[in-house]
Structure 1
Amino acid sequence: MGYSAIAFIIVIGILVFIHEFGHFIAARMCGVGVEVFSLGFGPKILKKRFGRTQYCLAVIPLGGYVKMLGEEPGTDIAQEDLKSSFSHKSLLQKIIIVAAGPFFNFLLAIFIFYIMYQFSGIYLVKPVVGKVREGTPAITAGIKQGDVIKEINQKKIDSFEDISRIVSASHGEQLEMIVERDKRLIGLVLSPVLRPAKNVFGEEIDKYVIGITGTRESFHRSLNPFFALGHSLKDTYKLVKLTILSVVKMISGKVSASNLGGPLMIAQMAGEQAKAGVMNFAWFIALLSVNLGIINLFPIPVLDGGHLLFFGIEAVTGKAVSEKLREKLIQVGAAMLVALMVFVFYNDIVRMFYGG
């Protein structure tokens, strides 16, 4: 548990620092004074003041905050400090400052993936046929074990991933393939068919297939900085999409809410990924960073998304949300977050003691 606790503190520390640093740097760039930059909540373990800002390390590592001058509506501000007050900045500047936290979480994921791709490149499965299933288009067309698929519809095939992508997007239309067998090129024609399969959420779906599997034999490909950035952006986008879909399916009941995990689950997984190696640990941090960015964009008062909602209403109506209504909504949002925390802690305890 000690190893998991250390890994957990490292993960949460990085994620919280990056998120709050996003708010901090955006505030400073917009000319807003920052009074407190805190990692953690509760009693302060360490604190040091540089200029106007007090930098703190607090005892509870489950978050952090940036306290800006004039952040709370109705705060009394000295005349000479008005130009540095958050409440006296333009609506666009306020939106930039609030959105910068989640944005930096997405940037962290992109950066981690970029470094991983630059150092390790990518590993792809060779486009070699391992098995051909009976009663499928592949066996009817004459594809055999050991065939190397070179082209599909005049598109060069570099990896088995290329085959899967083209077949899945074929809509069952006829495919012209060129395969290499015994150093000879052979032309084949076949049409993918729909077969039942399961997606990443375990749901039953129909998927176009031709009835082959790969050999699992892989090869390494280095990436230049441009392609590494492209893969990083694509991977981050996939995580964002997957996370949003997960939330939507959880709300609709298609995915069980028991899959939600809290600090105990994160600590356990952090320890496991750290033991598996630096690459696994870095990927885990990127995954959680994307999750944190999306969660903070939920339109729930208290979260960044709630503040952005208030600003959106102000942009549309031309009037700021009244302090009284804002306070009530923030209380509701806080109650929702407390209920969510209780629920994920319950899930963690059930998993820990009952294996649920």
Structure 2
Amino acid sequence: MIVVNFIIVLGILIFVHEFGHFIVAKWMGVKVEKFSLGFGPKLFGRQIGETEYLISAFPLGGYVKMFGEGGFSEIEMIEQEYEREAPGSKPVEAYKLTPADEARSFAHKTIPQRMAIVFAGPFFNMVFAWLLLITLYMTGMPILKATVGEIFPNRPAALAGIQKGDLITAVNGQRIIQWEDFSAHMAKAPASVTLSITRAGKPVTVELKPQIGETKNLFGEIIKKPIIGVSPAYDFVTERFGLVDAFKLGNAKTVEVTKLTVLSLVKLFQGVVPLNSLGGPMMIADMANKAAQTGGATFFMLLAVVSINLGILNLLPVPVLDGGHLMFYTIEAIIRRPVPQKVREYAQQAGMVLLVGMMVLAFYNDIIRYFFTSKL
């Protein structure tokens, strides 16, 4: 089941990503020659209209092959060579594009059109995650209620009379739905805070003054933030929300995961997050399997989080990734001519080396994590 869950997660996310490229390319009038889930040898496929739809052997990616995607540099190079040898000759005239071909060619589209097609893949991953999260909040999402568990002595909460089991319903008049909301409000709390609490079924109002204390953030860094000295009761419930609340919560969660993904990448490059924390296919498979065993909502939450991660990672300005293509088109727009073919090739080779290196490191970390760490 681990392999099945892994293929399901990757298959869905790859399909969403490539469908983004596909549908926008079609919308822009570009001929799409192939739509493949997976890389490598074709397992099976079917020609429908002008596009061949494929399932390929290695499920770690996918691709959309568009007419004219690589440009027509090879024909141009041959023609230039013959022109030097025999001026006026047209050795590749038969291969010249007709106006109809040019209209369907990716290479002949404007820079904004090409950028839109490339950007569509990551964008669809983000939109898919956003819609999935909204749907989850509407159909039933496990949430951690804002119920007080442990109260630390001599801290603002204890001094203000907050009790174990108190349900926090508002902070300074702002509605609290879950513990996550409460934590977010307290992280930017002013000098004085008014808490609305439900205690034994009765409403209670508590005034307190948070202290500025040191704590560790998600990345292990020591930071200063307002603290009141409480921890949650870990009271989880499955809650269904109306469309308005689900929309707000889905928006907030999408923004939160996006920020966390970007910040994690920044911390990785800064050396705050160690390289051995990188995970590869085995880690994704393990997470997918555990999420599937836990329940549908957890599985779909993982799907949304990984989809956002995939969208953000693909926007990195690394040649061979979507972000690398966007970088080249941006340069082309600035210098008013395409980046030279040789420069693109060298950059893509460097990008491929970097990408393969990161994949090897992720595989290595997976092997250490799942086959050796537990034996130490």
CA contact under 8 A between 1:19 and 1:105: conserved in structure 2?
yes
Match of 2:125 among 98, 105, 110: 105
Question: How do residues 275-286 of structure 1 correspond to structure 2 at under 5 angstroms?
Answer: 275-286=293-304
Q: For residues 315 and 152 of structure 1, do their structure 2 counterparts lie closer, same or farther at Cα, with a shift above 3 Å needed? A: same
- Aligned partner of 1:344 in structure 2 is 362
SS class of match (2:29): coil
| Aligned-pair CA distance for 1:114 | 1.8
Distance in 1, matches of 2:250 and 2:199, equals: 36
Equivalent pairs, count:
352
CA contact under 8 A between 1:141 and 1:188: conserved in structure 2?
yes
Distance in 2, matches of 1:183 and 1:326, equals: 67
- Aligned partner of 1:227 in structure 2 is 245
Q: For residues 130 and 339 of structure 1, do their structure 2 counterparts lie closer, same or farther at Cα, with a shift above 3 Å needed? A: closer
- Aligned partner of 1:203 in structure 2 is 221
CA contact under 8 A between 2:196 and 2:203: conserved in structure 1?
yes
Distance in 2, matches of 1:286 and 1:204, equals: 30
Q: For residues 84 and 202 of structure 1, do their structure 2 counterparts lie closer, same or farther at Cα, with a shift above 3 Å needed? A: same
One-letter amino acid of the structure 2 residue matched with residue 299 of structure 1 = P
CA contact under 8 A between 1:126 and 1:219: conserved in structure 2?
no
SS class of match (1:31): coil
Segment of structure 1 superposing worse, 132-141 or 284-293: 132-141
SS class of match (1:57): strand
CA contact under 8 A between 1:122 and 1:223: conserved in structure 2?
no
CA contact under 8 A between 2:37 and 2:55: conserved in structure 1?
yes
Q: For 1:2-44, what per-residue CA distance to the aligned partner results, in whole angstroms no more than 9, with x for missing partners?
A: x111111111111111111110001000000011111111111
Distance in 2, matches of 1:187 and 1:12, equals: 48
Q: For residues 125 and 89 of structure 1, do their structure 2 counterparts lie closer, same or farther at Cα, with a shift above 3 Å needed? A: same
| Aligned-pair CA distance for 1:235 | 1.1
Q: For 1:23-82, what per-residue CA distance to the aligned partner results, in whole angstroms no more than 9, with x for missing partners?
A: 000100000001111111111111111121111111111111111011112255531311
Q: For residues 89 and 63 of structure 1, do their structure 2 counterparts lie closer, same or farther at Cα, with a shift above 3 Å needed? A: same
Match of 1:167 among 186, 199, 219: 186
Mapped pair 1:89 → 2:109: yes
- Aligned partner of 1:242 in structure 2 is 260
One-letter amino acid of the structure 2 residue matched with residue 224 of structure 1 = G
One-letter amino acid of the structure 1 residue matched with residue 286 of structure 2 = Q
CA contact under 8 A between 2:146 and 2:182: conserved in structure 1?
no
CA contact under 8 A between 1:36 and 1:53: conserved in structure 2?
yes
CA contact under 8 A between 1:68 and 1:85: conserved in structure 2?
yes
One-letter amino acid of the structure 1 residue matched with residue 113 of structure 2 = Q
CA contact under 8 A between 2:146 and 2:176: conserved in structure 1?
no
CA contact under 8 A between 2:144 and 2:234: conserved in structure 1?
no
| Aligned-pair CA distance for 1:220 | 5.7
CA contact under 8 A between 1:112 and 1:282: conserved in structure 2?
yes
Match of 1:78 among 97, 100, 112: 97
Mapped pair 1:114 → 2:134: yes
Question: How do residues 164-313 of structure 1 correspond to structure 2 at under 5 angstroms?
Answer: 164-171=183-190, 173-177=191-195, 188-217=206-235, 221-313=239-331
CA contact under 8 A between 1:136 and 1:210: conserved in structure 2?
yes
Segment of structure 1 superposing worse, 46-55 or 181-190: 181-190
SS class of match (1:255): coil
Q: For residues 153 and 328 of structure 1, do their structure 2 counterparts lie closer, same or farther at Cα, with a shift above 3 Å needed? A: closer
CA contact under 8 A between 2:137 and 2:239: conserved in structure 1?
no
With structure 1 as the length reference, what TM-score do the two structures score? 0.90
- Aligned partner of 1:54 in structure 2 is 52
Segment of structure 1 superposing worse, 104-113 or 89-98: 104-113
- Aligned partner of 1:42 in structure 2 is 40
Coordinate RMSD, CA, aligned: 2.4
Q: For 1:202-230, what per-residue CA distance to the aligned partner results, in whole angstroms no more than 9, with x for missing partners?
A: 33222212223444446665322233222
CA contact under 8 A between 2:42 and 2:55: conserved in structure 1?
yes
Q: For residues 186 and 270 of structure 1, do their structure 2 counterparts lie closer, same or farther at Cα, with a shift above 3 Å needed? A: closer
Q: For 1:86-127, what per-residue CA distance to the aligned partner results, in whole angstroms no more than 9, with x for missing partners?
A: 011111100000000001111111122122111115645245
Q: For 1:151-178, what per-residue CA distance to the aligned partner results, in whole angstroms no more than 9, with x for missing partners?
A: 654556565555433332124x123456
- Aligned partner of 1:68 in structure 2 is 66
| Aligned-pair CA distance for 1:265 | 1.8
CA contact under 8 A between 1:114 and 1:232: conserved in structure 2?
yes
One-letter amino acid of the structure 1 residue matched with residue 271 of structure 2 = G
| Aligned-pair CA distance for 1:278 | 1.6
CA contact under 8 A between 1:73 and 1:323: conserved in structure 2?
no
- Aligned partner of 2:342 in structure 1 is 324
One-letter amino acid of the structure 2 residue matched with residue 231 of structure 1 = L
One-letter amino acid of the structure 2 residue matched with residue 59 of structure 1 = A
One-letter amino acid of the structure 2 residue matched with residue 205 of structure 1 = I
CA contact under 8 A between 2:146 and 2:169: conserved in structure 1?
no
CA contact under 8 A between 2:31 and 2:66: conserved in structure 1?
yes
| 5+ residue gaps, structure 1 | none
SS class of match (1:355): helix
Q: For residues 140 and 218 of structure 1, do their structure 2 counterparts lie closer, same or farther at Cα, with a shift above 3 Å needed? A: same
